[in-house]
Structure 1
Amino acid sequence: MSSNFWEILLVDDDEKFHQIVAESFDEIFINDKKVKMLHARNAQEAKKILQQYSDIAIAFIDIAMHTPDAGLDLVNYIRQTLYNSSMRIVIINSDDSPVPASDIIAHYDINDYKDSRCIKSQRLFTTIRTAIKQYQQFKDLKDKRDEIYKKMTTNEITSLPNRMKLSENLDTIGGKSLILINIDDFSLINNHNGFEFGDEVLKSFAKFLIEKYSRYAEVYHLEADKFALLCLQSDTSHTQEESISIIKEDIYKHEFNVKDVKFHLTATLGAVLDERGNIIQKAEFALKEARLYGKNNAKKYSDDLQIVRTIHSNSIWTGRIREAIAHNNILAYFQPIQNAKNGKIEKYETLVRLKYENEIYSPFHFLDAALYSGQMFEIFKVMLSGACQKAQTTASVLSINISEYDLKHPKFLQTIHKTIQSYDISSQQIVFEILENNSISRDKNIQNTLNILHQDGFNLAIDDFGADCSNFAQLNNLPINFIKIDGQFIKNIIEDKNSQIVTKTILDYAHQKGIPVVAEFVCSKEIYEYVKEIGVDFLQGYYISEPKPELI
């Protein structure tokens, strides 16, 4: 908005009219600002003036000038070609106009319609003052809206456009190339040097990207330690695939200097090259795939990425799981567990199966999808009911797998107690096998829940002991009744010396603690005889029996 004048455009082919208006507003002030009249005798002159002045508050436009509807064409030019919605437009009627006043008001984006006699009278001052007030209010609102929009589309640390702005700019026709850049181990910078230093690192990284690549790409700061380059044109000296590797190497070689601290960074990159639709999502798939191979890696999106195949599979199985739950096609199967000393079947593990189109599927096919879609607890409830139902018909103990997702569910304990009561069985008949991981070992709430289960008479077992996150400290922290050695050690135990050492170490420690040990994946006579000989207490695997819908 001009600080010195209210700019008002008068478009009319009557020269006397221009003189009258100019004399009327000479040295006139409105809201402490002078009025500056801009004069055009036809639409073409008006368009030139509109290109020169961007802050015209009011345009008085005669309908009929060199052609009967020239004024109305100029209205459409202002609103539809220049996209100027703030200017107040007042139409001056003419006896030569072919369009009735009612049609003009109804179909053209104008703010007022005045008779030429009104314009030539003292009432013109009132018209202008009212229009200027409206214009000022409109501009204030627009400026406020623009300010809010800028905040919404700008990263507050680096002042670069953010994810919202990138999404907006991607919403155009044609193939796009986008490179996501994720700084490796940025959380360590924040933790070691503080968030203020971390923010300065982000600013320095943003400056590096702008100086290095803004000739070829728009630079965005999406969030935290993730940046993006939206390619505008190719570096003709390299292919797009080569450019991705060059960017990664440029980052690796660059020495950053923040507050006199010199250091190097690495980054993981995910790229989409000449793709259409879901560009950001595809680039993030590529970035996730690159992370699978470690830090300082880069990956280009393709439909054959492992993570894309996984997501596609999860999407398919998510619907099948939902349908199976609704139609009672989540099934409980039972695999017997044999006492190694007397050869009797004393326990069963309850294992989930899914029936789809008359085929029975193991959890290998759908468990990841269940985790992905948040349907694990629904599956747990079906397994619990299936185990309790079978417990009514046998003296054997039945075990059920529980994950951290089940343990964290707000209705976990309530569901267990309600189900046990409804089947009227003893809690001593149920073992909960904990699918052990880091979160369980650290989470005090989970440990508290497991202690409550133990106090209520349920037995607890650690499943897959010795794999990944398992550690012997768990035997001190949790009230464990059984240990199940991870099957990867048992199935290779005949040939693999390391598997033998791990298994014997677990056995020795568990027995010193007075905890019985179950060996899974007993799939041959040789393995069966070997684990019995070294002192395993219980045996489970296909050599004894595969899982079946009924107890044996």
Structure 2
Amino acid sequence: MNATIHSAEDDLVFLDEPEGIPPLEAAESNSTWRIMIIDDDPDVHSATTFALGSLEIQHRPLSFIHAYSATEAREILERESDIAIILLDVVMEQEDAGLQLVSYIRKTLGLTDVRIILRTGQPGYAPEIDAIRDYDINDYKTKSELTRTKLYTAVTSAIRSYEQICAISSSRRGLEMIIHASTELMALQGLQNFAEGVLIQITSLLGLNTSGFVCAKTNLQGRHYENDKLHVIAATEDYHDALNKPITDLLQINAKEIVQRSLELHQSVFEADITALYFNNVTQKDFALFLNTGLRLNDMDKRLLSVFCSNVSVGLDNVMLTSRLHNYAFYDLLTGLANRLKLLQTLNETLLSPIKSRSALSLIDIDHFAETNDALGHQFGDLLLNAVAQRLRENFGNQCQLSRVGSDTFAMLGDKSLVCPETILALFNSPFNVDQQEVQLSATIGLIKLDEYDGDGSEALKDTNIALKRAKTHQRGGYEYFTRSMGVEIRERVLLMHALRAAFEHEKLFLVYQPQVDMRSGKVLGAEALLRWKTDDGRYIPPDQFIPIAEYSGLIVDIGEWVMESACYELIHLRSLGYTDFQMAINVSQAQFSHPLFMQTLSKVLKSTNVPANFVELEITESMAMKDPDLLIKTLHQIKQLGVSISIDDFGTGFSSLSHLQKLDIDKLKIDRAFVNDIQHNGSEGSIAKMIVQLGQNLGLSIIAEGVENEMQANALLSFDCHLAQGYFYAKPMTSEDLHAWLKKQSS
């Protein structure tokens, strides 16, 4: 076939070629490769269209767009897209119009994928080497050399190049979208937010306006899913009714089936009309996404989707880890309830919100839980706590913030119509079913109303605990509301405790000694060491105020050791002054006496001071003697083996069991000052003191009376046959220096 088309500027010649050139590939698609012809000669357009009209490349035919000037080409290119090849003439309106259009296409329009084949009939206006070097063109042909075969070859090569560049560009854009999507997902906190983000990003990535849902098997962030079923945790509007429900509740059977198949196979499943994407994760939590549309993906799409799913899996691992850390930080792992930190967070929010005026906080303490735990084991105790938590959740879980804030203490924050003692205590009327056993429990409650509360969450929780402790002190199974007077009392005790600790550390505590005498002869037999505290401003804090605080705080153990050591050193000093028969009485508190290291401490003090043990007397209270008689008998025996004597202080105030008393290896009874004060001038009172003297004599014990203030009391005691006494009638408590002077005066 011969064809010659003449123009005023150049020639486009198709030489003789074999007939019947077949298309490269059979067409399988209705889409076309778009070819743009830019030339000011209409015959060139016709000849090119005629030459290429039957050509098919990669199963796709060609379609043509025509522009007859550079200006017209610019207008078309601004609105058209997906042009594969531009066949461009150099000389049109101007001698370099084609070259200027190349710059406009590449730089201004930013069309980098389209392939440009420069065609010229006048090479002098665009020398090949200069054009290739200076302009972003992909091929250079003179019209005189273009046969049909060479045009086929040039166009086919250009289209294949364009297809590869488009694939690369598409891959790059896809990767950029994946990176952007992954970045957006990594910023999301919480599994549900992450799942919603995955739905948004996948539809954006695929360019689809579709609906679907994300399902997972999880109980993160305190949410309890029955039997750990697969639940919908995020959904588009079409599936909103399924949110937070088991996937088995879905009416769409094919959706359930494809998701289950994806999870069983651990891979994504693609069907004609629906898709299930599987996301692997290190925690092996089932996590899948359902789309109600089929995805027709080429190999590149599948690879990009695989990269996206891998990135989602990494993000899922991070979210799972963050969620577990969040769980550990804000939820109790045993019961699934919020913990103390979460309660404080919610409490602070409540105190700053309008609902403060109608809110209340309660602490619920299970009575005698420690004994149950010790008797039946920790595993049973855990089941018991879970049973209590479950009952609280069933009755208040949707209306109140429930927390476990201690080993056996629960908190409830909510409307005060619900957070009231009668409602809460009623939960404990019926037994709890624990490990196929019915267990009856009771609880003690402390409460606070927040409507007029001025403190923050931590202070409110602390004050509620004060009310709980007051309730436990007064009556187990009852309740107390916090009052301002409770707070003042507790705060004063705390301040006093800190001041006592500081005073002890800075050696502000000191001992005084009250002599003990034989009333018959006036001879000084010894003294009782008494602890005193004088503050920096000169005030004396009474022992009955600071000794209980020292016992409560545990500071009494250190203070008691210091008292014992100081009193023994004073005894050594008195012996060096010639008072070799002097006996030192030292008070021992219950907390000090019951401490596991008490005997070790006593032995160490006796050894370090080198004091004769038989001149040391320990005074214990009657209530201590009755607290744990078996332990007391054992400890007293050990003390006696060291040579130290024992006196029971405040005898008659603790309602002793005489059967226990006669078993104790003790040396002396001290009549409490309250019974000494009962002795009147006429001697009609004082019968209790007289009875104690007779009891002591029957048991073979020495008897000493404390608080003897006058001669009448001394004479009455002597008439009862009590010979030993201490009190202001004989001497007040004195410092070491004053005691030495007083003893010296007594001796002279």
Query: What letter matches 1:359 in structure 2?
Result: R
Residues 521-547 of structure 1: per-residue CA shift (max 9 Å, x gap): 334444433333223342223343331
Query: What letter matches 1:530 in structure 2?
Result: A
SS of the residue aligned with 1:361? coil
Distance 2:304 2:620 in 1: 80
- Whether the aligned pair in 1 keeps the contact of 2:198 and 2:312 (CA below 8 Å) is no
Cα distance, 1:337–1:221 mapped onto 2, change above 3 Å: same
TM-score of the superposed pair, with normalisation by structure 2: 0.51
Query: What letter matches 1:465 in structure 2?
Result: F
SS of the residue aligned with 1:460? strand
Task: Work out whether 1:294 is the aligned partner of 2:475.
Answer: yes
Distance 2:425 2:600 in 1: 55
Q: How do 1:144-183 residues align onto structure 2 when only pairs under 5 Å count?
A: 144-147=321-324, 149-150=326-327, 153-155=330-332, 158-172=335-349, 174=352, 175=356, 177-183=360-366
SS of the residue aligned with 1:433? strand
TM-score of the superposed pair, with normalisation by structure 1: 0.66
Query: What letter matches 2:363 in structure 1?
Result: L
Greater displacement, 509-518 / 463-472: 463-472
Segments of 5+ residues of structure 2 without an aligned counterpart are: 1-79, 83-112, 114-162, 206-297, 743-748
- Whether the aligned pair in 1 keeps the contact of 2:416 and 2:449 (CA below 8 Å) is no
**Of 612, 636, 643, which aligns to 1:457?**
643
- Whether the aligned pair in 1 keeps the contact of 2:496 and 2:546 (CA below 8 Å) is yes
Distance 1:458 1:213 in 2: 60
**Of 431, 443, 448, which aligns to 1:272?**
448
Residue aligning to 1:351: 530
Cα distance, 1:337–1:15 mapped onto 2, change above 3 Å: farther
Residue aligning to 1:528: 714
Greater displacement, 216-225 / 122-131: 122-131
**Of 283, 296, 304, which aligns to 2:485?**
304
Residue aligning to 1:545: 731
Residue aligning to 1:55: 198
Cα distance, 1:535–1:200 mapped onto 2, change above 3 Å: same
Distance 2:197 2:549 in 1: 56
Distance 2:492 2:448 in 1: 22
Residues 139-196 of structure 1: per-residue CA shift (max 9 Å, x gap): 2243244346436654566443333432343343625631112244556766888877
% identical aligned pairs: 22
Segments of 5+ residues of structure 1 without an aligned counterpart are: 1-13, 29-35, 63-120
1:287 shift after superposition: 0.8
SS of the residue aligned with 1:342? coil
Residues 322-380 of structure 1: per-residue CA shift (max 9 Å, x gap): 34334432111111222244343312110011121233333123223322443323333
Query: What letter matches 1:269 in structure 2?
Result: I
Q: How do 1:153-302 residues align onto structure 2 when only pairs under 5 Å count?
A: 153-155=330-332, 158-172=335-349, 174=352, 175=356, 177-186=360-369, 202=385, 205-214=388-397, 216-231=399-414, 233-235=415-417, 244-247=420-423, 250-251=426-427, 254-256=429-431, 258=433, 266-274=442-450, 275=453, 276-277=455-456, 278=458, 279-302=460-483
Distance 1:474 1:491 in 2: 27
Q: Bigger relative contact order, structure 1 or 2, given CA contacts below 8 A and separation 6+?
A: 1
- Whether the aligned pair in 2 keeps the contact of 1:335 and 1:548 (CA below 8 Å) is yes
1:300 shift after superposition: 1.8
Residue aligning to 1:316: 495
**Of 134, 139, 143, which aligns to 2:316?**
139
Task: Work out whether 1:379 is the aligned partner of 2:522.
Answer: no
Residue aligning to 2:255: none
Distance 1:414 1:187 in 2: 29
Residue aligning to 2:507: 328
- Whether the aligned pair in 1 keeps the contact of 2:590 and 2:624 (CA below 8 Å) is no
Distance 1:469 1:544 in 2: 29
SS of the residue aligned with 2:484? coil
Distance 2:603 2:371 in 1: 44
Bigger Rg, structure 1 or 2: 2
SS of the residue aligned with 2:485? coil
Distance 1:432 1:140 in 2: 66
1:423 shift after superposition: 5.2
Cα distance, 1:369–1:160 mapped onto 2, change above 3 Å: same
Distance 1:423 1:257 in 2: 58
- Whether the aligned pair in 1 keeps the contact of 2:361 and 2:449 (CA below 8 Å) is yes
Cα distance, 1:405–1:198 mapped onto 2, change above 3 Å: closer
- Whether the aligned pair in 2 keeps the contact of 1:179 and 1:228 (CA below 8 Å) is yes
**Of 700, 704, 723, which aligns to 1:514?**
700
Residue aligning to 2:546: 366
Distance 2:325 2:679 in 1: 65
SS of the residue aligned with 1:287? helix
Residues 212-271 of structure 1: per-residue CA shift (max 9 Å, x gap): 44454222343454322111x454xxxx9xx6354256447x444648988876532211
- Whether the aligned pair in 1 keeps the contact of 2:626 and 2:657 (CA below 8 Å) is no
